[in-house]
Amino acid sequence: MSNKDEIKLPSMLSFERKLEASDALMYSGNWRDKGEDCRDSEADKAWSPIPITKRYNRSTQSSFGIDDTKKMEPNPVSSGSDDANLPNNHDTLKVDFSLRVIGNVGAPFACNSPKFEAAIKQEVNSFKQSDGVKELAFRYAYNIASGRFLWRNRVGAEKIRVCIAVDEKIENSLGFSAYDFSLKDFNGERDNSNLEKLANLIQKGLTSSNSEGESVLLKVSAYIKLGDGQHIFPSEEMNMSEKGKVLFQLDNCAAIHNVKIGNALRTIDNWYGDEVLIKNSQDDKKIETVTVSDEIKTPIAIEPYGAVTQRGAAYRASKIDLYTLMRNWINNKEISEDNKKYVVGCLIRGGVFGGK
């Protein structure tokens, strides 16, 4: 194909998100009240919403390079911050959210190039027909079973049980022990029958055509045994203009943002290359390239450039970013199966990907 005939990225291009997670509400109770794999609906009555409270503490200055005259003063930023804990007579945190899995993957929501739209739909449909979505669905299911969506609440717990009710039917529930699943890769538990069932459900939703009744609805409940009165970690709100930490709550109940839940579920990309762009540790206006060995590769959230802001890194620079791979794919240029999975993962993520 000549450059003249090559299909370009349209100036208007967007895709709808296909994994729609709700905000997650946080409740307190005791491990004995969790029920058995979500089958005991009466157990829900034992759980209480966790309120956000205020902490007024005096803390010291700890910022690098602070002036000597201020080093002995209290730090005003930590005064009046939000906090959340289990009650002193409750040892377990319960986190509830729902997830709708939507089909018609590969069909743009907005596109001003019929030629591009036809090409991307054709390639993604071929990918789906060749069972290419199976590994993506497995990884999404794995991230639910592992409790990756719990973030800091997953760390240091005595035990964690994750239960999934399908289409809100308690009798169709699946149960997992979260610590059976490593967060470093997706190699374990490949023969877990419940994980296979969950992956098949997600695959069914993603490969549907969005006809009536074809989407899949999952209700996820995680039980985390932490100990009486232990600290819990709701989402933190962006708070640019005021001092003090502000935690997310819904109807006076501590909660985790749906965006944060979604970010955890799409943490499936370990197909990136060996070279990573990072900001220079001394001058963040300078960029350098470092090599990552296979031994220390861990999954990152699906992103067009593989950006991980808390590390100041981009794992998918030029040639293996979404835009380059998408152009290569629709123009019949060489692209690996793993990179096809990455591109489709980005389309499931959704977003605005126009060429201008």
Question: If you compute the radius of gyration of the chain from its CA atoms, what whole number of angstroms results?
Answer: 23
Mean pLDDT of the region 190-195 = 93
165-174, 234-243, 285-294, 316-325: segment of lowest average pLDDT: 165-174
The DSSP secondary-structure symbol of 90 reads -
Confidence of residue 67 (pLDDT cuts 50, 70, 90): confident
Give residue 38's pLDDT: 59
219-233, 266-280, 328-342: segment of lowest average pLDDT: 266-280
pLDDT of 175 > 90? The answer is: yes
Confidence of residue 135 (pLDDT cuts 50, 70, 90): very high
pLDDT digits (tens, 9 = 90+) for 10-60: 999 999 999 999 999 999 999 998 876 555 555 567 899 999 998 877 777
% of the chain residues with pLDDT over 70: 90
What is the torsion angle, in degrees rounded to the nearest 10, for the CA atoms of residue 355, residue 351, residue 113 and residue 330?
A: 80
pLDDT of 3 > 60? The answer is: yes
Q: Residue 327 in contact with residue 121, Cβ under 8 Å?
A: no
Closest CA relative to residue 56, chosen from 80, 24, 37, 76: 80
Give the pTM. Answer: 0.92
Give residue 7's pLDDT: 92
Q: Where are the alpha helices (DSSP H) in 132-257?
A: 133-145, 193-206
Closest CA relative to residue 349, chosen from 302, 315, 294: 302
- The amino acid at 277: L
d(CA 173, CA 224): 18
Higher-confidence residue: 1 or 260? 260
Mean pLDDT of the region 77-88 = 83
Give residue 291's pLDDT: 82
Give residue 40's pLDDT: 53
Q: What helix, strand, coil percent values describe the chain, rounded to 5? A: 30, 25, 45
pLDDT digits (tens, 9 = 90+) for 285-300: 788 888 877 767 899 9
% of the chain residues with pLDDT over 90: 66
pLDDT of 243 > 70? The answer is: no
Which residues neighbour 214 within 8 Å (Cβ) at sequence distance 6 or greater?
103, 205, 208
Q: Where are the domains of the chain?
A: 13-63+82-268
pLDDT of 8 > 60? The answer is: yes
The 3-state DSSP class for residue 351 equals strand
Confidence of residue 4 (pLDDT cuts 50, 70, 90): low
Identify any residues that bridge with 144 across adjacent strands, giving them in sequence order: none
Q: What is the DSSP string of 27-83?
A: EEE-GGGS-STT--GGGGGG-EEPPPEEEE---B---TT--GGGTTSB-GGGEEEEE
Confidence of residue 254 (pLDDT cuts 50, 70, 90): very high
Q: What is the mean pLDDT of the chain?
A: 89
Give residue 10's pLDDT: 94
